[in-house]
Amino acid sequence: MAAAAFYDLEGTLVSTNLVHTLGFYSRNQQGLLRSIRKSATTLLSIPVFAVTDQYSRMVFNDLFFKRYKGESEDRLRFFAEELFEDVLKPAVFPGAFSLIEKSRSLGLRQVVVTGALDMSVKPLMDYLGIEDYVANRLEFVNGVATGRLVPPVLASATKASWIRTFAEREGINLSTSFAYSDSMSDLPMLSVVGHPAAVNPDMRLRQTALHHDWPILNLK
């Protein structure tokens, strides 16, 4: 059976996080006043985002993506390339390309599993040369975001469930596969493969990796 390398994205392959993307869209509203108001609201919400993310990634997602309510789907897609050029491309960690290339040389299928938005990461996936990826999707009604995500919401255990389903469908042997993440919230995703690795890990994940003798990589 084939094997794969599963990557978290933000904090693992790039230094940005979801708030950077929201901040970019907040600055690019229709009209200066709306941009200022949206940017200020995003800035003031950062402490709340940080606390809820530590408490529960699912609660964080529910709170965070409500900030997209009322956004035009066309406008979000229109600015995706600019988001990539201005925010995401410069944030790719120097070691990300070498990790991906080494993984490819081993014959591993490259797969990104991220809680970011699909429309915002597609140009980045093209840049990294990764065809297989899954990301969160905003719900739109009549072309306007409702502030909700289309299930399944990718976070924590849901990522691991998606990987299991993907592996069964594509004939991937998880015991010989690899997974990379920076966050303790992705412990289920790391635990589902035979070769987990902590990348630029937070303190809790670093301790877990040391305890289990997992590789710890620094791509910065």
Q: What residues does each domain of the chain span?
A: 4-217
What one-character-per-residue DSSP string does 22-72 give? HHHHHHT-SSHHHHHHHHHHHHHHHHHHHHHHHH-HHHHHHHHGGGGTT-B
Return d(Cα 18, Cα 65) in angstroms, integer. Answer: 10
- The pLDDT score that the predictor gives to residue 121 is 92
DSSP-based three-state secondary structure for 155:
coil
- The pLDDT score that the predictor gives to residue 20 is 80
Take residue 173 and report the two structure tokens written for it: 């042997």
**What Cα–Cα distance (Å) separates residue 34 from each residue in 8, 25, 49, 59, 67?**
33, 11, 21, 27, 13
The single-letter code of the amino acid at 66 is K
Average confidence (pLDDT) over 76-85? 91
- The pLDDT score that the predictor gives to residue 68 is 87
CB 157 within 8 A of CB 167: no
Return d(Cα 175, Cα 3) in angstroms, integer. Answer: 8
Whether residue 48 has pLDDT greater than 70: no
Q: 61 or 136: whose pLDDT is higher?
A: 136
For tokens 């200022």, name the residue: 36
State the chain's mean pLDDT as an integer: 87
Summarised one tens digit per residue, pLDDT across range 10-32 is: 999 999 988 788 777 777 666 54
Whether residue 208 has pLDDT greater than 60: yes
- The pLDDT score that the predictor gives to residue 215 is 97
Whether residue 6 has pLDDT greater than 80: yes
Length of the chain: 220
Summarised one tens digit per residue, pLDDT across range 106-160 is: 999 999 999 999 999 999 999 999 999 999 999 999 999 999 999 988 888 899 9
- The pLDDT score that the predictor gives to residue 155 is 85
pTM for this prediction: 0.86
- The pLDDT score that the predictor gives to residue 85 is 94
CB 87 within 8 A of CB 116: no
pLDDT band at 53 (very low <50, low <70, confident <90, very high): low
The residues, ordered by sequence, that sit 6+ positions from 174 with a Cβ below 8 Å of its Cβ are 163, 164, 167, 192, 193, 194
Summarised one tens digit per residue, pLDDT across range 86-96 is: 999 999 999 99
- The pLDDT score that the predictor gives to residue 61 is 65
- The pLDDT score that the predictor gives to residue 19 is 78
- The pLDDT score that the predictor gives to residue 51 is 53
Pairing relationship of beta strands 109-117 and 132-136 according to DSSP bridges: parallel
Phi-psi region of 152 (alpha: psi -120 to 50; beta: other; left: phi over 0): beta
Average confidence (pLDDT) over 154-178? 95
Tell the burial category of 81 from Cβ atoms under 10 Å away from its Cβ (0-12, 13-18, 19+): exposed
pLDDT band at 34 (very low <50, low <70, confident <90, very high): low
CA atoms within 13 A on the CB side of 132: 14
CATH 3.40.50.1000 fits 4-217, yes or no: yes
Take residue 56 and report the two structure tokens written for it: 């529960």
CB 80 within 8 A of CB 118: no
- Give the residues across from 172 on adjacent strands: 2
